[in-house]
Structure 1
């Protein structure tokens, strides 16, 4: 995906809203960097489509509030998997 940045910002914004996804997940889906996605939806989208920008901003705020919880759950899974692997290897 390499359309002009303004169009790309709108497409990314719509994708984030439809899927209620993170910047990281959107970047992976479109094959571009997290920095590009963030710049597109936080700067370019604001100028291109302010209403869409506000919706995306709300989702990104929710993601920001939840990230410490997701990180904790990932750590919990990591150590549970390590413990399970140790149990099977002994």
Structure 2
């Protein structure tokens, strides 16, 4: 999952506060948490992220693509709504 986020963000990342839910119908695992990057040798502020794994144990992580960056309020609201829809309280 960190590799998927690193490829998406194009910077080294650290993931924390992970929560997940599993759908029996299709085997998809929704994941929500916080990600920090490194810029100029300093860690960035943690930003809320969401995405999904295609199947349990899969390394194929697909980030939820939402307009905006980091602490953008509209982006955060959209990610929170996705997490709540997936029964993840974060």
TM more than 0.5 = no
Larger Rg: 1
TM-score bucket (shorter structure)? under 0.3
TM-score with structure 2 length normalisation?
0.24
1 or 2 for the larger relative contact order (CA 8 Å, sep ≥6)? 1
Give the TM-score of the pair, scaled to structure 1: 0.24
Structure with more helix by fraction: 1
More strand by share: 2
